[in-house]
Amino acid sequence: MVISGANRGSSRALSSPPELFGPSAVMCSERVQQSLQRRYQMLQTEGFNCKHPHLITWFFYMLCKHPLIQEKVAAEVKVATKSEGSKNDIAGFALSLSDEVIGKMQYLHAAITETLRLYPAVPVEGKRAVEDDVLPDGFEVKMGDRVNYISYAMGRMNYLWGEDAEVFHPERWLEDGVFKPESPFKFVSFNAGPRICFGKEFAYKQMKIMAATILHFFKFKLEDESKTDKYRTMFTLQIQDGLPLLAFHRSN
Ligand code: HEM
């Protein structure tokens, strides 16, 4: 893990991998050690994650296209923080967002997840087989074969999500107001299995703190209401021409 801002150069590594994963890591096999080492190195570079900006952009795009959902998120934040609205102390508000308070923001959690379902930061994922293997449906994969899956398409399949698969509907993730996760093999935006995103919980926490703080103080509209979700073709899913927004102070 790294303590840093956007400036990776000034990042400070906290510990070596055995220290990070506890003394038992020293006893692991060489293969596990290598895996931990690799994850640790990836964590160092992912501390300020390159996927966040895309998630934030798509999240605000969806909230602007669905103003009632934006208001629902803001209302939930207000209740969870018991804030009657000190409209000036933004930094103080952000600092008050403890794990317990963030944990109460189940609708926000669902709205972030719904954004990632429709706009996965990594829209196509690929792996290469290091040895012969057989997929669960019996399909044989030979050593060296590449297997790709398209998270973007999977997030929009009626077969997986029902007839309203293309609709932004955070409620689909809630049961009695509590977030109900799906199998990572169905909701694949963070990958699944042994290579599932190592920073998933951290990413949610960062996103929730940022979104709760901004939406508590401001409401947003698209500068151009006619803007649609056109993509830049990249490894990560980016919106074309950026997302100019208009921000209105909530006290107005
Ligand atoms: C919106 C936020 C994020 C998304 C959508 C995301 C998504 C993903 C995906 C799809 C993978 C699989 C990549 C692959 O196997 O080729 C991955 C791996 C990984 N992610 Fe994330 N990630 C996010 C945030 C983060 C953050 C904040 C951290 C670190 C604090 C992080 C750390 C990692 C690491 C270390 C791996 C490699 C895991 C491994 O292969 O063992 N991620 N992430």
All structural domains of the chain, each given as residue ranges with its CATH number in brackets, are 1-48 (no CATH), 49-249 (1.10.630.10)
Nearest CA to ligand 1 atom 9: 190
Element containing residue 125 per DSSP (H, E)? strand 125-128
The atom number, within ligand 1, closest to the CA of 125 reads: 16
| C-alpha span between 240 and 221 (Å, rounded) | 18
Give the pLDDT confidence of 107-133 residue by residue, as tens digits: 999 999 999 999 999 999 988 999 999
122 lines ligand 1 (CB under 6 A): yes
State the distance from the centre of ligand 1 to the C-alpha of 204, rounded, in angstroms.
12
Output DSSP code: residue 87: S
Give the pLDDT mean for 138-160. 96
Judged against a pLDDT cut of 60, whether residue 6 lies above it is answered with: no
Give the pLDDT confidence of 215-248 residue by residue, as tens digits: 999 999 999 999 888 888 778 898 988 999 999 9
Judged against a pLDDT cut of 70, whether residue 17 lies above it is answered with: no
State the distance from the centre of ligand 1 to the C-alpha of 203, rounded, in angstroms.
9
35: confidence class by pLDDT, cuts 50, 70, 90: low
- The binding site for heme comprises 197
Higher-pLDDT residue of 218 and 18 is 218
Element containing residue 45 per DSSP (H, E)? helix 30-46
Judged against a pLDDT cut of 60, whether residue 46 lies above it is answered with: no
Residue 221: which of 245, 240, 250, 249 has the closest Cα?
245
pLDDT of residue 29: 59
| Chain mean pLDDT for the chain | 83
Nearest CA to ligand 1 atom 40: 195
Q: pTM for the complete prediction?
A: 0.83
Type of residue numbered 211:
A
165: confidence class by pLDDT, cuts 50, 70, 90: very high
164: confidence class by pLDDT, cuts 50, 70, 90: very high
Q: Picking from 41-50, 51-60, 179-188, which range would have the lowest pLDDT averaged per residue?
A: 41-50
| C-alpha span between 64 and 58 (Å, rounded) | 10
Given a contact cutoff of 8 angstroms between Cβ atoms, the answer to whether 196 and 184 are in contact is yes
pLDDT of residue 24: 36
Give the pLDDT mean for 167-172. 98
42 lines ligand 1 (CB under 6 A): yes
Pocket probe for ligand 1: among 197, 201, 205, 235, the residue whose CB has the most ligand atoms within 8 Å is: 197
Sign of the alpha-carbon torsion through 240, 126, 108, 65:
positive
Query: What are the phi and psi torsion angles at 231 (to 5°)?
Result: -105, 150
Angle at CA of residue 205, ends 203 and 211, nearest 5°: 100
